[in-house]
Amino acid sequence: MSGVPTVLITTDKESSEQQRPPRAIHPEGFTWGHSLGTAGNRDLQMEVLRTALQQLVELHLPGSVRTLPFAGYNP
């Protein structure tokens, strides 16, 4: 039996790296409570979500947290 594929979207890269998730992204500059961006910014939220889901098919080192820039985030 295999596990359920997961992707973490984190605003606290340092703490997340200590937990060594199998896949994780850190949207650069996003603040606590805004893992997908600000409320009402549907386009940005969908971009972050699609990017996170893309991690399921891309190969990268388990336990690493990828910091990725996203334009359009204003807390």
Per-residue tens of pLDDT for the chain, all 75 residues:
478 889 999 999 999 999 999 999 999 999 999 999 999 999 999 999 999 999 999 877 888 899 999 998 887
Domain interval for residue 43: 8-68
- The reply to whether 74 falls in a domain is no
Whether 75 maps to a domain, the answer reads no
54 in any annotated domain = yes
Q: How many domains does the chain have?
A: 1
| Beta carbons within 8 Å of 7's beta carbon, 6+ residues apart | 23, 24, 25, 52, 53, 55, 56
Torsion sign over Cα 38, 41, 46, 48: negative
Classify residue 2: in a domain, yes or no.
no
Instruction: Let me know if residue 27 belongs to a domain.
Output: yes
Q: pTM, whole model, 2 decimals?
A: 0.88
pLDDT at 40: 94
pLDDT value at residue 61: 80
Instruction: Identify residue 56 by its one-letter amino acid code.
Output: L
- Return the pLDDT at 58: 87
- Cα 54 from Cα 37, distance rounded (Å): 18
- 44 lies in a domain? yes
